[in-house]
Amino acid sequence: MPRIAVVGAGANGAAIAADLVRGGHDVEIIDPWAANVDAIRRRGVEVERAGGVVSTTVTAHHVSDVATLRAPYDIVLVGVKAYDTRWAVELVRPLVAADGVVVGVQNGMTVPQIEAVVGPDRTLGCVIEVAAEMFVPGRVRQQTPMWFAVGAVGAASVVGAASVAGAVGVVDAARAVGAAAARRLERVVPVLASAGTVTVSDDIVSSKWMKLVANAAELVTSAVLDLPLADAVRVDGMHDVMREAGAEAARVAIAGGRRLVPVFDVDVPQGRTPEGYAADLLDGVLGSYTLPDTLTTVLQDWRKGRRAEIEELNGHVVREGARLGIPTPVNERVLAVARRVEAGVLAASPENASLLCGDRGDDGARGHRGGGV
């Protein structure tokens, strides 16, 4: 039986760890929130779903305990915030088995950071979609089932293998990498299946970008209004803002060589435009992964007084758009307003919709960008 570590036991990580234990897997949690680790040690991971609350005993370690651990992990599921990826993977790198796999079960484009630490031959990318929250240490409120897409970053892996293949050649190296990736997937997919529906992606970078298209549309846009997503989308003008933020992200993805690919059961009809698919994804999130009181992860972070992933979401769209020459004015406005909220100079409020909609929002946001994008 593989030994599994879940690094980062927020709402998603804790719920995954509990489901994996209940599925018969050998799982340990590593988390930086001391109160969370203490609660899990005392009460287990408590997951509240429609059918009630289930408590599951899971071994939990604080990050300060990692230096005392010795037994290697065969699978590491990284669930920390995107901006914490590099240090978290560096922390557990000595504990990753020689043939182990590290999976970034996160928002944001974190695969390159993981590959830089453990190598492409020990990395898988992952998309996760779920509505869940954790405001009390050790207790998760999971509102919707989990959905995963998992895959290897083929291009980077093939280049790495070809560079050491010598006379074998690029074609044979690519085949070898494909076989190695398949073996990693064969180990990880059954594990994640204990926590939700799993799809294998043959282009995980495009899949991650499609998740970013959805995230750019709804996570930060609703958070700056301090509203549940279902309420935020009904604020005058905000549905258009969300759709265009997603469309900009989709156009950037296409310009960067990515494809429109299905994620969380939203198909891509033949001939679908980036704008149309961005709208489809937003509708898919609103229809299948949003309850009336669902708070996005960004708003949850702000309400807990924590830094959110604004730079890794809309900020990434803006930076990539600038690099590729694709305009991203709506994402720029969203990012600018979010930076003001995070800096404490602007309160998250429904009134901020005026800063995101129309010329007044454009001018006001540009005056408070607080640095380049």
CB atoms within 10 A of CB 174: 18
Q: Where are the beta strands (DSSP E) in 143-213?
A: 146-151, 196-200
Contact 278, 249 (CB under 8 A): yes
Cα separation of 308 and 220, whole Å? 9
Cα separation of 173 and 165, whole Å? 6
What is the DSSP code (8-state) at residue 348? -
Cα separation of 59 and 44, whole Å? 8
> Would you state the pLDDT for residue 148?
96
What is the DSSP code (8-state) at residue 27? E
> Would you state the pLDDT for residue 250?
98
What is the value of pTM for the model shown? 0.90
Q: Which domains does the chain have, with CATH numbers?
A: 3-201 (3.40.50.720), 205-366 (1.10.1040.10)
CA distances from 178 to 160, 229, 280, 303 (A): 12, 40, 31, 43
Cα separation of 258 and 251, whole Å? 10
Cα separation of 51 and 109, whole Å? 34
β-sheet bridge partners, residue 5: 28, 76
Cα separation of 50 and 144, whole Å? 9
> Would you state the pLDDT for residue 175?
53
What backbone phi and psi angles, to 5 degrees, belong to 62?
A: -80, 155
> Would you state the pLDDT for residue 361?
37
DSSP codes joined into one string, 104-151: EESSSS-HHHHHHHH-GGGEEEEEEE--EEEEETTEEEE-S-EEEEEE
Cα separation of 206 and 351, whole Å? 35
pLDDT in tens, the chain (373 residues): 999 999 999 999 999 999 999 999 999 999 999 999 999 999 999 999 999 999 999 999 999 999 999 999 999 999 999 999 999 999 999 999 999 999 999 999 999 999 999 999 999 999 999 999 999 999 999 999 999 999 998 643 333 333 333 344 444 544 555 888 889 999 999 999 999 999 999 899 999 999 999 999 999 999 999 999 999 999 999 999 999 999 999 999 999 999 999 998 899 998 999 999 999 999 999 999 999 999 999 999 999 999 999 999 999 999 999 999 999 999 999 999 999 999 999 999 999 999 999 653 343 333 332 332 2
> Would you state the pLDDT for residue 177?
53
What backbone phi and psi angles, to 5 degrees, belong to 139?
A: -125, 125
